[in-house]
Structure 1
Amino acid sequence: MKRLAPLLLICLFAVFSLGGCASKSEIVKLPRPIGTIAIAGFTNPVFNWELLAGYLPQEGKPIKKNVLQQLDDKMVGVLSRHNVTGYARPAITRQCQEIEVFENMGSRREAAFAYWLKVGECMAADYILVPQILFWQDLRGMQKADFNIQPASVVIDLYFIDVNNKRIVRRFHFDETQQPLSENMLNAGTFFKRGGKWVTAMELADEALENGLMELGL
């Protein structure tokens, strides 16, 4: 039986690695939008009324500003890998984000949507991509050890808004908390694709942006 254990692990690695590759091909890539696009800087809503949809895992838990800056940089990097050019970068769009303010326009979520429309109009853009980080928990502990670990956990929403027609045309939701292989064999393909180790929250965010932008056609 002891000799069979390594063989079983090798077989599982092969099967789930293939499964992991297959899952990437299943990502639906929409046609690239035609028109001017503004990429908003990442925001970190701390209350549910600041969201365009859904609910926060925890209200009142802000994320460090340097994480938002890193996410902005990562967004630009992924767009570059996808050969997306000619868009307004987060550093530019943030200027309009700082100018515009939330107003009392009916429900608070209506106000949040109206705010992002105004930012898009301020940028004279046909579309605006609004990325929001809803939850951020970084890895604590040794990456290769399976004890005393606080796994990375990330919740990200990407909204693609048609400014001219005033509607959300596409949305991508990412909610991932890494689990050890011993707790969830169904995620073995993803586990091995990550090198068989614990990953950081920023590495999870990279996965979210890679897959999310592709699904949004960017």
Structure 2
Amino acid sequence: MMKRVFPLILICVLSLAFLNGCASKSEIVKLPRPVGTIAVAGFTNPVFNWELLAGYLPHEGQPIKPEVLQQLDEKMVAVLARHGVKGYARPAITRQCQEIEVFENMGSRREAAFSYWIKVGECMTADYILVPQVIFWQDLRGMKKADYNIQPASVILDLYLIDVNNKRIVRRYHFDETQQPLTANMLNADTFFKRGGKWVKAMELADEALETGLTELGL
């Protein structure tokens, strides 16, 4: 009996994965590429809510390792290259202005955070500045194969495109995902199979986020 039922279940799952795959592709809206000079900031890891441009941290005071931020900068550059984006100021250059500028006491702390990034953009003489922030980072612990004694990868990050001249956030992409096994959420079957039916690392989730996020921002 089980031998007959299993193929039917597999067919249903694969069909659902196909349908979800078509739906997810249609949901990605690529905006026109911004006209003007663009500076790409290095990834930052806000550890207090006042450092954020929007939203709130799930846990304050939990910094991410510097080497993770460096790897994310490298991934950002690689994805922009794959998308054909050229002539922008890279994170390694923009970080020089990030180190020069400082937060000032300007009204609310969140206003100070926004003003800081405007000043970084002005320091770079850019029309736009792309600000990537990692809100939460939890790497995979355990085996990559299906295993109940495992801590799955979890990533929350934001990408902000700020119009420096008009001093406003024009586009934002938010990514928040904790990987789940197929049995926990059948609606994500397409994503499960795209990942090879295995547990992935946090950096792999971040790569997916950058691919989709930069596309949606027009970059």
TM-score, length basis structure 1: 0.97
Distance in 2 (CA, whole Å) between partners of 1:155 and 1:40 is 18
Q: CA RMSD in A?
A: 1.0
The 5 Å alignment of 1:97-176 reads 97-176=98-177
Please give the secondary structure, in 2, of the residue aligned with 1:134: strand
Distance in 2 (CA, whole Å) between partners of 1:80 and 1:17 is 29
Distance in 2 (CA, whole Å) between partners of 1:63 and 1:210 is 22
| Runs of 4+ residues over 4 Å off in structure 1 | none
Distance in 2 (CA, whole Å) between partners of 1:13 and 1:119 is 48
1:29-60, Cα deviation, whole Å (9 max, x unpaired):
00000000000000000000000000001100
For structure 1, the 5+ residue unaligned runs are: none
Q: 1:147: Cα distance to partner?
A: 1.9
Q: 1:72: Cα distance to partner?
A: 0.1
Distance in 1 (CA, whole Å) between partners of 2:85 and 2:113 is 27
Native 8 Å contact 1:153 1:201 kept in 2: yes
Distance in 2 (CA, whole Å) between partners of 1:183 and 1:214 is 29
Native 8 Å contact 1:41 1:94 kept in 2: yes
Equivalent residue number for residue 2 of structure 2: 2
Distance in 2 (CA, whole Å) between partners of 1:142 and 1:204 is 17
Native 8 Å contact 1:146 1:180 kept in 2: no
Equivalent residue number for residue 216 of structure 2: 215
Native 8 Å contact 2:172 2:217 kept in 1: yes
Equivalent residue number for residue 89 of structure 1: 90
The letter of the residue matching 1:97 is: Q
For structure 2, the 5+ residue unaligned runs are: none
Q: 1:144: Cα distance to partner?
A: 1.0
Distance in 2 (CA, whole Å) between partners of 1:90 and 1:217 is 18
Please give the secondary structure, in 1, of the residue aligned with 2:177: strand
- Identity, in percent, stands at 82
Say how many residue pairs are matched: 218
Please give the secondary structure, in 2, of the residue aligned with 1:98: helix
Q: 1:21: Cα distance to partner?
A: 4.1
The letter of the residue matching 1:91 is: A
TM-score, length basis structure 2: 0.97
Distance in 2 (CA, whole Å) between partners of 1:176 and 1:191 is 13
Are 2:190 and 1:195 aligned?
no
Q: 1:26: Cα distance to partner?
A: 2.3
Distance in 2 (CA, whole Å) between partners of 1:196 and 1:14 is 16
Q: 1:170: Cα distance to partner?
A: 0.4
